[in-house]
Amino acid sequence: MGSIHHQLTMFWLIILYMLVLHTHNKGGLFVEGIGCNWGTRAMHPLPPDITVRLMKDNGFGKVKLFEAEPWVMQALGRSGLEVMLGIPNEFLAPLAASVQAAENWVMQNVSNYISKHGVDIRYVAVGNEPFLKPYKGMFQMTTFPAMQNIQAALIKAGLSRQVKVTVPLNADVYESSTGLPSNGDFRADIHDLMMSIVRFLQESGYPLTINIYPFLSLNADPNFPKEYAFFTPGTSSPIVDGAFTYTNVFDANYDTLIAALEKNGFGSVEVIVGEIGWPTDGDKDATVENARRFNQGLLDRVSKNKGTPRRSTPPDIYIFGLIDEDAKSIQPGNFERHWGIFYYDGTVKYDLLMPDGQILVPAKGVRYLERQWCILSPTASITDPAITDSVNYACQYSDCTSLGYGSTCNMLDVRSNVSYAFNQYFQSQNQQKGSCGFSNLSVITKTDPSEGTCRFEVMIDTGKHDLTTYISSDAGLFNQGAVWRTLATIVFGLLLWSR
């Protein structure tokens, strides 16, 4: 009898184990070391609860935010996602000048969301690339004091063990006089400041966060070897640096930082890659094919737990970004609005095999405006003198970056080009009556005018997204904690019964 009971017990344990795997594959299993950046500079942002579910469904266990927006923070409550919470650069001066200001910020944006909403905040990122050369030293006097004051505020709030302080820096804070990683050191104009910051991080047990963009290296230099931007073994132009050989720019860039840390006595400081990715539009090299190749290579490294020649332990990595942001500044280039691995609405741009073995899945429960588009009227003449001003107006108040050279809509003829601009404005205005006017040059159509790689969008209806088509992240059986508690109860009961 006991043998039969034992066999039945083992049978049910196997079934339960399979249930756990199934549940985890539905978004409960997070990939160690992989996070994403969640930017919100969008005219029609994907609703935050849907965005949180999108991250979980695709195995992201960590998320980096650029500021504490209430609608985002509340959605992250009890989600199981670890949060790196950013502080915008414009806040650095008041935080540096006053410990009280830092205490108020921590109380409002850290303590409040941890205690009241259950947000798992692990890091406070003080500033965002504050030492960029174009800033001309604007934040050099305030970044480090702000970090110190935030640390003091976290200690006072009793959160210093749970929440660490870091600073996300651009890779331009270090350089190599010879181009070899082994000669890496921090920029001369901020060397002393970097020593103070890195010493503070090491003594506190905090990580340094660095943003590395191989795409920007390629984009900035017409002579840059394109293959060197990707994780392609056997590249035709490897860099040999003593005992180390570098076949891609990420390894060389990252190890230049490691060499700089080692040279100055801080070789044990943890490093996080806060931003890394590849855009899909707005430039001739910003293509879906290149983005897939780069990000898949990056994820494959995570799957293999692969580090760099100088540091075998791989860093935590936050992919930039999760979703396209059509209201982001395009000062660096039109590609700035197209870094997402998902489109603005959470639909998949390209297949990626995640380290947990699953392919990217789209957002669930997204609601759209009516399926209609604003286009140039078939009766309108392309020589009409009002067209130029109408297109300029439309693009001034919407996103026309996909029309640029080398972009996904660059192949459109003149009529379709005008139609694209008209529709972008029409959608940005929520298809409101009168927003498809344009001096009687335009009409509304129910036929999708998309052509080839050029998508004529219909925007998200931000007021009416559907919350009922997916399970809430903090309710029901498919809450991860609830799953384990339920299984533990069943297994314990089966073991008692088998006796």
Active-site residue set: 129, 275
Burial class (CB in 10 A: 0-12, 13-18, 19+), 100: exposed
Residue 276 C-beta-side C-alpha neighbours within 13 Å: 28
Residue 62: strand pairing partners: 35, 82
Residue type, 136: K
For helices 386-396 and 414-428, give the axis angle rounded to 10 degrees. Answer: 40
Place of tokens 């001096």: 439
Residue type, 285: D
Strands (E), 2-81: 31-38, 60-65
Longest dimension (CA), the chain: 92
Round to whole Å and give the CA distance between 406 and 335: 11
Q: Which residues contact 460 (CB under 8 A, 6 or more apart)?
A: 44, 45, 46, 47, 344, 345, 366, 367, 368, 369
Phi-psi sector, 202: left (phi>0), alpha (psi -120 to 50), beta: alpha
SS3 353: strand
270 in Cβ contact with 254 (< 8 Å): no
Round to whole Å and give the CA distance between 406 and 347: 22
68 in Cβ contact with 77 (< 8 Å): no
CB atoms within 10 A of CB 28: 21
Strands (E), 414-486: 442-445
Strands (E), 297-397: 317-319, 373-376
Residue among 74, 26, 64, 50 at smallest CA distance from 480: 26
Residue type, 430: N
* Structure token pair of residue 273: 């890659």
Phi-psi sector, 242: left (phi>0), alpha (psi -120 to 50), beta: left
User: φ and ψ at 39, to 5 degrees?
Assistant: -95, 150
Residue count of the chain, please give it. 499
SS3 38: strand
Residue type, 432: Q
SS3 124: strand
Residue among 167, 158, 188 at smallest CA distance from 176: 188
